[in-house]
Structure 1
């Protein structure tokens, strides 16, 4: 099971990967409890770079566990976590807590502060601003859309990101195709994919909001870019220059791998700047969240610093892979 929006996004991604789902996913609603055998489960929508993410409260045999899932408190839905910290589930026997950023120096500025940084970069750049980010990181898309509007530019996204927005934005205030300062770039590769998979109707709907790749030349747009898009941009004569800027707005660990995109801009002597904030909670926020939940035990998942970063946490349970654990009476 998963959230309603998550189920839709999983289906889109599976189709794009040419591995379409052969069944519909069962879904839940935030704070709507449901029963699975003897387990009572209650999902809580949370703040994370992955859209429609949840924490799970699990109750069985009079015991209560909260699984934090991946979360943060510096995104555009941070109020969800703060409200939970102000009114936490009572009498938790265990908190299963992620610790991806524990003891690291990964950036954890707010999305609002990141938006300011993109506005500043856009205003300092005389040409285009190309940005690499995940189409499913909707917080980041909103950040870049707001930065585009504030800097007098247009955000140019690919067909996949357009479908993501079109799918989840209905009934919300999220930016989507049809908004001012937002255009969909029609690249050959993605266009072929949508036609091959029988989704010409989506292309037809996007036409009025779209532009051809060649229109990127001579523009001042904020342009989505990644390796697959670079090939289609090149084929239509899009060429970066020293007047352009490129920002890699994903975890910088990915830069350890060869990047056709990064090389494209480095060879053009474009300004390159890493602007990003993590999808996971900072060390300080992990401690604050654990304190607010006040669980009897903490079982940690993710992260490699738990052995040296235990200050500020209650009793921590350390388990090996596949090891079982029984809650004490």
Structure 2
């Protein structure tokens, strides 16, 4: 009997990673997403056919597991042959469903059919045992997955970091696996960047709080499902006693509070209210989460025209997003005098990758989700690194 790993996509690109793990009896896929542009702006090839998984014909896959809801991990959901069981964290599924509700009914129906898993609660697909391990990432309710079969253990980190709201729990949880893991498949996103921003979300909140003392009216441009970032700005706006958002954003924050408040007070969005038409009379000002949409442009307009000196715009998004949507964002924020960027990566720093790998001390370590896997530096464990090519099979 032999446990095997195959990375269909992701050995030399960020996003769109697809990992297959098989035994003689069972075949599972971990993450099934759309590709992201290379750093040079070019797009990797999206067309991907995986026999028994992505084309109409004989189904030969026992389960697809999503580590979290970001599109580069879930975006090919509709391409999978119907009938393949899919799995995702309980809160992640709810947020995913809310964020995709505007899509066609068939897509929504497939999301609704996703089976839910929970932190620390093992389950089996065929002769493969899976244990979800809650981790820290810019997506709420993201997981590492411990795979056990044929007397072997494989840890798939998914996307993770240690500088977010849940960052302090990552390494202690991995310490329980020390010396037990045969192969660790680790994300390496930030290996592709020079000096990536990996500031703590807590420090970001402190910086935002200082700025909010100066400006009564603060608009934060942030991804709707970037719950940690929104939690940081909600925390920073305590003195204003009011954090505003639209009804859609409120539904996402309520979900995060439902599942995350027991972990940390950062996920208690008690001062959050759905915005109302007349906001100018709000005592002590406000902080408001906005997105690149027309409705927010109309809301922000009076503050550009009447309260420009008292208004601050905060960009809380990646450089990639800002570049891709430059014209639309410029239209939304044009005319505002005070604009600042406060952002931190959703991915592990090089130091965090080193800490995770050294803590687990797996026999073999495979970097994925990076354009530059060869840049991984693991000190005394460097000789354990295995560099694979897409479609290459590895025997555990």
Report the TM-score range of the alignment, normalised by the length of the smaller protein.
0.7 to 0.9
| 8 A Cα contact 2:140 2:256, kept in partner | no
- The residue that corresponds to 2:246 in the other structure is 158
The counterpart of 1:57, out of the listed 119, 122, 146, is 146
Aligned residues: 294
What TM-score do you get using the length of structure 2 for normalisation?
Answer: 0.69
Secondary structure, in 3 states, of the residue corresponding to 1:156? strand
Residues 139-168 of structure 1: per-residue CA shift (max 9 Å, x gap): 11211111110x435211121110112234
Q: How far apart, in 1, do the equivalents of 2:331 and 2:208 lie?
A: 21
- CA RMSD across the alignment: 2.2
1:8-62, Cα deviation, whole Å (9 max, x unpaired): 1121122133442244211112111111111111111111110111111111111
1:11 and 2:97 matched: yes
Q: Please name the residue that 1:194 is paired with.
A: none
Check if 1:147 corresponds to 2:208. no
Q: Is the 8 A contact 1:145 1:175 kept in 2?
A: no
CA distance in 2: counterparts of 1:249 and 1:166, whole angstroms: 21
Q: Which residue of 2 aligns with 1:234?
A: 298
User: Are 1:113 and 2:206 an aligned pair?
Assistant: no
Partner of 2:30: none
Q: What does residue 21 of structure 2 align with? A: none
Whole-angstrom CA distance in 2 between matches of 1:175 and 1:162 = 12
Structure 1 residue corresponding to 2:109, chosen from 13, 17, 21: 21
Within the candidate set 160, 168, 190, 1:79 is matched to 168
Judging changes above 3 Å, is the alpha-carbon distance between structure 1 residues 50 and 324 closer, same or farther for their aligned structure 2 residues?
A: same
Where does structure 1 lack aligned partners over 5 or more consecutive residues?
A: 186-210
CA distance change for structure 1 residues 216 and 43 in 2, over 3 Å: closer, same or farther? Answer: farther
**2-side partners of 1:21 and 1:8: how far apart?**
13
Length-normalised TM-score, structure 1: 0.82
Alpha-carbon distance in 2 for matches of 1:264, 1:171:
33
Match of 2:311 among 219, 227, 244: 244
The structure-2 alpha-carbon separation of the partners of 1:171 and 1:92, relative to structure 1 and needing over 3 Å to count, comes to closer
C-alpha separation in 2, matches of 1:145 and 1:236: 19
1: CA distance, partners of 2:386 / 2:161: 22
Structure 2: gaps (5+ residues): 1-86, 262-266
Correspondent of 2:290 among 225, 229, 242:
225
